[in-house]
A = this chain, B = another copy of it.
Amino acid sequence: MQPPASTTPPHDEAAPPVSTLGCAILGLLARTELTGYDIARRMDRPVGYVWTAGHSQIYPELARLESRGLVRHVVVVGAGPRPTKRYAVTGAGRAALESWVVAPAGAPTVREPELLRVWSLWTVSAESGRSVVEAMAQRHRLALADLRPQHEECRSDPRSEDVTDPQFASLLTLEAGIRSHEATLQWCDWVLDRFSGA
């Protein structure tokens, strides 16, 4: 009998699926090579994108992806005080990303904190209700102000018309974000009308 060697990373067993966070990172790295720190900076604030994560999630996830052969890194003695690891997707990583993109998706779990508040809005006075909705509108106006310049920049890039270019997909998500916030703002107006009129 052969006692298993302690280090046996190869993939002969049924591999657990890549987490959503893993796919987000693969998607970033498929666009350009980045260090862990760069990934963390991009995902700490969801600039124009659709996902966020803290650095404490990213470093372990990068290690997991690497142990499965989906990404690899080279050490660079670049800008910072300590050596930094520049990551890139492997062929297997790109394949995993592509099959995740086209995999059939289940019904997404509905869980909207903002609307949960609204759902209990009947418990407070009309004035309080109004101000809750006005604050909500203000948040969405700010989000729009953040997205619109990115959207303009993306749309003026001719690559955003090429369906195989990352810019194309960026334009799609930015457009989705803008439409969503605009729809919410219209809904807020509709609600405020109901509070006033009746």
Contacts and interface: CB of A to CB of B under 8 A. Distances in A.
A119 B187 contact: no
Q: In which size bucket is the chain A interface?
A: 35 or more
Instruction: Give the 5 A-B residue pairs with the shortest CB-CB distance, closest first.
Output: A27-B120, A50-B115, A183-B183, A46-B110, A122-B169
How many identical chains are in the complex? 2
A64 interface: no
Interface of A: 2, 20, 23-24, 26-27, 30, 46, 49-52, 94, 97-98, 100-102, 104-105, 107-124, 126, 128-129, 131-132, 135-136, 139, 142-143, 161, 163-166, 168-170, 172-173, 175-177, 179-180, 182-184, 186-187, 190-191, 194-195, 198
Contacts of A131: 102
